[in-house]
Structure 1
Amino acid sequence: MPTEVALLESRALRVEQMGRVDVLDKVKSLVMLPDGIHVRTEDVARYFEVSTEVVKKVTQRHRGEVSENGLKLLRGDELQKFHRDMLSLWNGEGAESYPQAATQLTLYTRRTVLNVAMLLRDSDIARCVRTYLLDAEQDLRAGYASLEHRVTRVESCLAGVGSALQELGPVLDRMSHRLDSLDRRLDATHQVVGAMSVRLGHVAEDIVGIDGRMDELARNPKDLNRRRDKRS
Structure 2
Amino acid sequence: MPPDIALIESRALRRSVVHRVEALDKVKILTMLPDGTYVTTRMVADYFEVPESTINNLSQRHREELEANGLHILKGVEKSRFVKLNMSFTQVSGRGIAIYDRRAVLNVAMLLRDSAVARRVRAYLLDTEERVVHRPAGNPQPPSHGMPPGRRLGPGPHWDEWEVTSRDPAAEAWRQVIDGEIVPAPSAPDWAEGVDRRLDSMGRVVTALNHKVDDLSDDVREVRQDLRSLRSELRRPPRSPRSDTV
TM category (shorter chain) comes to 0.5 to 0.7
* 2:35 alignment counterpart: 35
Stretches (4+) displaced over 6 A: none
* 2:13 alignment counterpart: 13
Aligned residue for 2:135, secondary structure, equals helix
Give, in whole Å, the separation in 1 of the partners of 2:115 and 2:45.
10
Aligned pairs for 1:81-100 (under 5 A) are: 81-86=81-86, 95=88, 97-100=89-92
* 1:203 alignment counterpart: none
Pairwise CA distance, 1:12: 0.2
* 2:126 alignment counterpart: 134
Counterpart amino acid of residue 115 in structure 2: S
1:106 to 98, 111, 116: 98
Pairwise CA distance, 1:81: 1.6
Pairwise CA distance, 1:84: 2.7
* 2:53 alignment counterpart: 53
Aligned residue for 1:106, secondary structure, equals strand
* 1:78 alignment counterpart: 78
Counterpart amino acid of residue 21 in structure 2: V
Q: Deviations over 1:8-31 (max 9, x none)?
A: 100000000111100100111111
Pairwise CA distance, 1:4: 1.2
Identity among equivalent positions (%) equals 47
Change (3 A) 1:64 1:102: closer
* 1:178 alignment counterpart: none
Aligned pairs for 1:162-181 (under 5 A) are: none
Counterpart amino acid of residue 127 in structure 2: D
* 1:66 alignment counterpart: 66
* Count of matched residue positions in the alignment of Structure 1 and Structure 2: 143
Pairwise CA distance, 1:118: 0.3
- List alignment gaps of at least 5 residues for structure 1: 88-94, 153-232
Give, in whole Å, the separation in 2 of the partners of 1:55 and 1:79.
20
Indicate whether 1:119 and 2:111 are aligned.
yes
Give, in whole Å, the separation in 2 of the partners of 1:2 and 1:63.
26
Give, in whole Å, the separation in 2 of the partners of 1:41 and 1:80.
17
Aligned residue for 2:134, secondary structure, equals helix
Pairwise CA distance, 1:102: 5.1
Change (3 A) 1:55 1:82: same
* Structure having the larger proportion of residues in helix: 1
Instruction: For CA contacts below 8 A with separation 6 or more, give which structure has more relative contact order.
Output: 1
Counterpart amino acid of residue 127 in structure 1: R
TM-score, L = length of structure 1:
0.57
- List alignment gaps of at least 5 residues for structure 2: 142-147, 150-246
Aligned residue for 1:43, secondary structure, equals helix
Pairwise CA distance, 1:138: 1.0
Pairwise CA distance, 1:142: 2.2
Change (3 A) 1:44 1:58: same
Give, in whole Å, the separation in 2 of the partners of 1:8 and 1:29.
22
Pairwise CA distance, 1:144: 7.7
Give, in whole Å, the separation in 2 of the partners of 1:71 and 1:81.
17
CA RMSD of the aligned region, Å?
2.3
